[in-house]
Structure 1
Amino acid sequence: MFNKIIQYFWKIENKIAFYPSLIAIWGVIFALLMVSAEQHGISDYLQEALPVLVINDLATARVILSSLIGGLISILVFSFSMVMIILNQASSNFSPRLLPGLISNKKHQSILGIHLSGVFYCLITLISIEPTDKNYQLPGFSVLVAIIFITVSLAAFIYFIHSISQSIQVDHILKSIFTTAKKRLELLITYDEENKSLIEEDKQLNDTSDWHEYYSAHSGYIQTMRINNLLELIDQSNTVIRILPRKSTFLLKGIPIFKSKQKLDETTAEKFLDQFIIDDTESMSENYALAFQLITEIAIKAMSPGINDPGTALTCIDYLTELLALRIKKSDRMLIGKNQKLKVQINITPFDQLLYTILAPFRAYCSHDIIIVSKLLRMCDYLLQQECANEQYKKAMKKQAQNIISDAKKKLDNEDDLNNLKAEQQKFDKI
C-alpha cells in the first residue's frame, strides 16, 4: 500500500498541474483565513491604526477585485499558452523526450500556481463582501492584500517571461542536461572510491546461476530504489541481491527484476519488490545514461536537413566529451555495501555499449560531414589520453574511432577531406 502511494506521488509530482493545484489550494485556505480575520475585526483595527491602508468604499472595492480577477485570468491564460508553445517548439526542434523535463520545471509551475491562487483569493474576497449597511465594515484589508497579490503576480510574470525565453534556448537545455548528469556521475564516482573494498567480494560472487530470481508485477523503467529499506531487508534475510535490469532498460512483465543468493518466502519477496519505484518514464536525475541519449538526439536532430544547425551538434559533442571523461573514471558495476560487506550488485550500462549507443547515430547521419567527423575523432583522442577505471575502455574508444573513420571514407569524396581522414587514422594507429 505504501509503495503504491509513493509511486502515485512520483507520477503526479512531475505533472504540469501538480504544483499549480497545490499552491491554488493554499490560496483558497489563505482566503478563508482572511475572511475569518475580517469577521474578527482586523479591518476595524487597521481602520483605527492605519486608516490609509483600508478601503471603505463598497463600489471601489468591488471594481478593484473584479479588475484584478480579470487581469489575473488573462495572465494565467497567457502563461499557459506560452508553456504550450515552448513544449511544442522543444518537441519539434530538439527531442520529444525533453518534454518531461520541461513540464516538471518547478519554477514555472509555481508561477502558474501564484496566478491561480490569486484568482481564487480575489473571488472568495469578492463573494465575502456583504450588502452595505451603516454598521458593516468592508473587508478593506483583504482588498489591500489582493492588490499585493496582483503585484506579486506581475513580478512573477515578468520573471516567467525571462525564464521561459531562456528555457527554450538550446544552450540552456544542453547545460541543464549536462549539469544534472555531471552531478550524478560525480556522486557515483565518489561512492565507488569509498567502496573499493567491495570489489574483491564482488568477484567471488560473479557466478549467480544458482541464485533465485524474482519478478515484478509491473512494467516500466526503474525510477529509483529505496536503498536503506533494501539493506534492512537484506540483513534480515541474510542474503545478497543482484538487480538485473539497467535503469535505461524497459522492464517487461515476466523478466526478473532481481536475484537473491538465499531463497525468499513470498511475503519477504513482496517486501523487496515494494522498494522498487517503477514508472513508464525515465528520470535523468537517477539515470545519467539518459543524458547521453538526450544530448545525442539533440545533435542528430540539429544535423537533419530541416534544421541544419551543425554548430549545435558541435556543442553537443563538447558536452558528451566532458561527460564521457567522467564516465571512464567509473567501473561498469555499482556495488552497495553495509559495514564493509557487499549487499547489492546493480547492473549499469557498460562503457563500450554506452559509447556505441552514442556514436552509432553520428556514424549513420553525420559521416558525410568532415567537421563533425573530425570533432568526434578529437573526442576519442582526448578520451584516450585520460585515466580510465578499466583499460578495456580504451579498446572500445579505438574501435569506435576506427568505425567512424571507416564509415566516413564511404561517404566522403573530396580529396582534402580524405587526406585529413587518413592523417587521423594514422594518429590512432600509433596509439
Structure 2
Amino acid sequence: MSASYHESGSVQFLQKLFRGFLFIPVLLALSGAIMALIAIWADRSGVIEPGSALSSFLDISTDGARSVLSTIAGAMMSVISLVYSLTLVVFTLAAGNIGPRLLETFANNRVNQITIGLLGATFLYALIVLYVVGEETVPHISVAVAITLAVISFFWLVYFVNDVSRRIMVDNEIGRTQKSLRAAIDLLLRSEPEENADDRKVIPETPGTEVTSSASGYVTAINGKRLMELAEENDGFIEVLVQPGSYVIEGMAILRLYQGAREIDPETLRTVFQTRYARAPEGDIQFSIHLNVEIALRALSPGINDAYTAISAIDHLSASLGRIVQRGAPTAIIRDKQDTPRVWLSILSVSDILDAALNPLRQASCGNVLVSERLIQALGRMALVCLPRHKSILQKHLRRIASDARQKLISHADREEIARALSSANKTLAKV
C-alpha cells in the first residue's frame, strides 16, 4: 500500500519542514554560531597551554586575527549571494527546458541546502569570533577553526558547482526522476498481496453515510491505519472515495461509512486526511509519473522539438512501468488482526497507471515516427516481464498507436516502419 495511506500529520509536517531553503540551512547556520561559542570557551578556558608547540603554531596577532576573520565573513556573504544567484539561474533553466514541476526536486536537493547552510555557518562563526577579538585577547583556537571552516566551504563550493552543472543536464534529471518513481512504486508494492478483482465484494450492501471534506485542495496523505482502528472500534466498515493526488473541494464526499462506523464523529474522520495547495511526490504515483511524462511532452512541443530527450524519458519510464506489470497494484482492503475487512481504499489499478503514462505520450508523439517507434519498443520490453493478466492492457495501447499511425502517417514507408515495430511487440506479447 502507498506510504500516503499510512502517513500521519506529523510525518507530513516533517517532510515539508525539510524541503526548500529554510530549515536545513538555518539549522546549519545556527550550528556555526554554537560552534563559535564553544571555540571561544575553549580559548578562554586554557585548553592549550601557553608556550606549547601547538600554541606557537596557532599564534597570530590581533590585527592578523581581525583581518582573517573579517575577510572570511565578507567572502562568505559574497559567496552566499553567488550561490543563491546560481541556484535561481538553474531554476529558470530547469523550468524552461525540463519542466516547472521539477523545481520542487531542485529545491529539495540536499547539496543546495547544505551549501547555503555551511556558508551561513562559516559567516556567523567568523562574525561572532570577530566580536570577541580584543587588543590583548586573541582567540587562537577560534581563528584556526574559522580558517578550517573556510577551507571546507571552498571545497564544498567546488562540489556544489559540479553538482549544479550536472543537474541541468536533462538526461541526468530524467534518470533522477525515474529513480524517484521507481522508489515510489517499490514502496507501493512493498509486502502487499497482488491486486484482487473481487475487492469491492467486501463492501457492505447496506446503505452508507457519506462524510464530506471541510477544505479544498490536493489530498497528500490518508492515515489508513487510523481509519482501520476507528472502524474496528465501532465494528463497522469505511470506504475511502478519494486517493492521494485527488483534488477535493469543500462539501465533496470523501468517505462512506457502513454499519457501526456511521456513529463515528465526522470531524474525527476528517483528521485522517492531509490536504495541500499542491501535490506532493510522496506516495502519489500519478504525480511521479507526470514528472517523467512532462519532460517528454515538453521535449515534443513545437518550441523545443527534441525527439531524443523524449526517447530517453520513454526508455526510463518503461523500466518503472515494467515493475508495475510484473507485480500489479496492491489490495485495496485493510483488515484488522482478526482478518476482518475494515477499510476499502481507492487504489489506482494497473490500467490506470499505464494510461496516465502512455496516453499523453502516444497523443504527443502521434505523427512522429521516431518517438512512436520507441514507444512501441518500450511496450515490447514491458511485455517481456508482464504477468499474463496484464497482457490485454499492453495490447490496448499497441492498438491505439496503430490506429493513430493509420490516421496521421501519410508516407507509406513510415507506415511500414511502424507496422514492423508493432508486429515485433505483438509477437513478444503472444509469448506471454
Rounded Cα–Cα distance in structure 2 between residues aligned with 1:233 and 1:55: 68
Rounded Cα–Cα distance in structure 2 between residues aligned with 1:24 and 1:405: 58
Unaligned runs of 5+ in 1: none
Q: Deviations over 1:114-164 (max 9, x none)?
A: 00011011101111223x2xxx43111111110111011112111111112
1:210 lines up with 2:214 in the alignment: no
The 1:6/1:376 distance shift into structure 2, 3 A limit, reads closer
Give how far 1:283 is off: 2.5
Q: How does 1:27-66 map to 2 (within 5 A)?
A: 27-42=32-47, 45=49, 48=52, 50-66=54-70
Match of 1:185 in 2: 185
Rounded Cα–Cα distance in structure 2 between residues aligned with 1:200 and 1:295: 29
Q: Deviations over 1:162-204 (max 9, x none)?
A: 11212222222122121222123223324223xx6x9598443
Rounded Cα–Cα distance in structure 1 between residues aligned with 2:190 and 2:20: 32
Report the secondary structure of 1:224's partner residue: strand
Report the secondary structure of 1:347's partner residue: coil
8 A Cα contact 2:94 2:100, kept in partner: yes
Rounded Cα–Cα distance in structure 2 between residues aligned with 1:92 and 1:39: 54
1:331 lines up with 2:336 in the alignment: no
Give how far 1:35 is off: 3.1
Report the secondary structure of 2:406's partner residue: helix
Give how far 1:295 is off: 1.3
1:289 lines up with 2:289 in the alignment: no
Rounded Cα–Cα distance in structure 2 between residues aligned with 1:217 and 1:53: 67
One-letter amino acid of the structure 2 residue matched with residue 362 of structure 1: L
Deviates more, 1:152-161 or 1:306-315: 306-315
Report the secondary structure of 2:192's partner residue: helix
Q: How does 1:5-154 map to 2 (within 5 A)?
A: 8-42=13-47, 45=49, 48=52, 50-130=54-134, 132=135, 136-154=136-154
8 A Cα contact 1:314 1:372, kept in partner: yes
Match of 1:401 in 2: 398
Deviates more, 1:85-94 or 1:20-29: 20-29
1:314 to 303, 307, 311: 311
Give how far 1:415 is off: 1.6
Rounded Cα–Cα distance in structure 2 between residues aligned with 1:255 and 1:249: 11
Rounded Cα–Cα distance in structure 2 between residues aligned with 1:147 and 1:230: 55
TM-score (norm 2): 0.87
TM-score (norm 1): 0.87
Q: Deviations over 1:377-417 (max 9, x none)?
A: 222333344333x72x4333222222212222222221211
8 A Cα contact 2:211 2:266, kept in partner: yes
Report the secondary structure of 1:277's partner residue: strand
Report the secondary structure of 2:302's partner residue: coil
The 1:387/1:410 distance shift into structure 2, 3 A limit, reads closer
Q: Deviations over 1:197-218 (max 9, x none)?
A: x959844324567233223323
One-letter amino acid of the structure 1 residue matched with residue 283 of structure 2: E
Rounded Cα–Cα distance in structure 2 between residues aligned with 1:276 and 1:175: 32
Report the secondary structure of 2:247's partner residue: coil
Rounded Cα–Cα distance in structure 2 between residues aligned with 1:49 and 1:429: 79
One-letter amino acid of the structure 2 residue matched with residue 20 of structure 1: P
Higher relative contact order (CA 8 A, sep 6+): 2
One-letter amino acid of the structure 2 residue matched with residue 366 of structure 1: S
8 A Cα contact 1:55 1:143, kept in partner: no
Match of 2:380 in 1: 381
Rounded Cα–Cα distance in structure 2 between residues aligned with 1:111 and 1:231: 43
Rounded Cα–Cα distance in structure 1 between residues aligned with 2:11 and 2:385: 41
2:237 to 237, 240, 244: 240
Deviates more, 1:15-24 or 1:207-216: 207-216
One-letter amino acid of the structure 1 residue matched with residue 248 of structure 2: L
Rounded Cα–Cα distance in structure 2 between residues aligned with 1:26 and 1:208: 59
The 1:252/1:125 distance shift into structure 2, 3 A limit, reads same
Deviates more, 1:174-183 or 1:213-222: 213-222
Rounded Cα–Cα distance in structure 2 between residues aligned with 1:175 and 1:332: 26
8 A Cα contact 2:126 2:146, kept in partner: yes
Rounded Cα–Cα distance in structure 2 between residues aligned with 1:15 and 1:280: 16
One-letter amino acid of the structure 2 residue matched with residue 18 of structure 1: F
Deviates more, 1:257-266 or 1:359-368: 257-266
Match of 1:170 in 2: 170
Match of 2:253 in 1: 256
1:304 to 301, 312, 315: 301
One-letter amino acid of the structure 2 residue matched with residue 139 of structure 1: P
Report the secondary structure of 2:385's partner residue: coil
The 1:382/1:200 distance shift into structure 2, 3 A limit, reads closer
Q: What RMSD, in angstroms, separates the aligned Cα atoms of the two structures?
A: 2.8
Rounded Cα–Cα distance in structure 1 between residues aligned with 2:247 and 2:423: 41
Rounded Cα–Cα distance in structure 1 between residues aligned with 2:239 and 2:357: 27
The 1:78/1:428 distance shift into structure 2, 3 A limit, reads closer
8 A Cα contact 1:366 1:373, kept in partner: yes
The 1:7/1:421 distance shift into structure 2, 3 A limit, reads closer
Match of 2:270 in 1: 273
8 A Cα contact 1:55 1:141, kept in partner: no
The 1:255/1:65 distance shift into structure 2, 3 A limit, reads same
The 1:117/1:264 distance shift into structure 2, 3 A limit, reads farther
Unaligned runs of 5+ in 2: 1-7
Give how far 1:10 is off: 4.2
Rounded Cα–Cα distance in structure 2 between residues aligned with 1:334 and 1:100: 30
Identity %: 24
8 A Cα contact 1:223 1:283, kept in partner: yes
8 A Cα contact 2:314 2:375, kept in partner: yes
